[in-house]
Amino acid sequence: MTATREIEDSKRCPFCGSNTNLNKLGRLGLSTEELEIIAQHAKDGTLKNMLTVAQIALQALDPEKTTSKFQVGDAISKLREASNQSLKAFIQETKEFIERLFVESDYIVKEYEEKSKGMIQAFEKEIA
C-alpha cells in the first residue's frame, strides 16, 4: 500500500522531467506550480535574472539589511544636507566679504583722497 500511495503522490517534475514525490516537494516548500514557473524561466533563459531579482527582494525584506540600508541612506542624506548648508554658508560669507571689500576699498580711496588733497594743494602752491 505504501508503494501505491507513493505512486499516487508522484508527479512529473516540470523542471527536470523526472517523477517527483509531492510530499517531498511539500517539505521543501515547493509546489508543482512553483516548479512550473522555474521551468518556464529556465526555458525562456531568464532563470538567472529571476533568481537575482528574488535574491534582491529577499535582501530588501530582511529587516537587518533593510535597517542598515536605511541607516546608510539616512547618513548620506544627513551628509548631503550638512554639505548643502556648509556650501550656502560659504557662499553667504563670500558675498559679505566681497561687499565689505568694496565698501572698505571705497573708504580707503576716500581716506587717501582726503590725505593726499592737502599734499596736492601744497604741491600746487609750490609750483605756482
Q: 111 to each of 100, 102, 105, 117, 122, how far by Cα in Å?
A: 16, 14, 10, 10, 17
Work out the mean pLDDT of the chain and round it to a whole number.
76
Q: Which residue has the higher pLDDT, 91 or 2?
A: 91
Strand, coil or helix: 20:
strand
Q: Where are the domains of the chain?
A: 1-61, 66-128
Q: What is the pTM of this model?
A: 0.36
**Does 25 score more than 50 pLDDT?**
yes
Q: Which residue type occupies 47?
A: L
State how far the Cα of 60 lies from the Cα of 100, in Å rounded to an integer. Answer: 53
pLDDT of residue 54: 81
**Does 92 score more than 80 pLDDT?**
yes
DSSP-derived secondary structure letter, 98? H
**Which band of pLDDT confidence, cut at 50, 70 and 90, is reported for residue 1?**
very low
pLDDT of residue 94: 87
**Does 126 score more than 70 pLDDT?**
yes
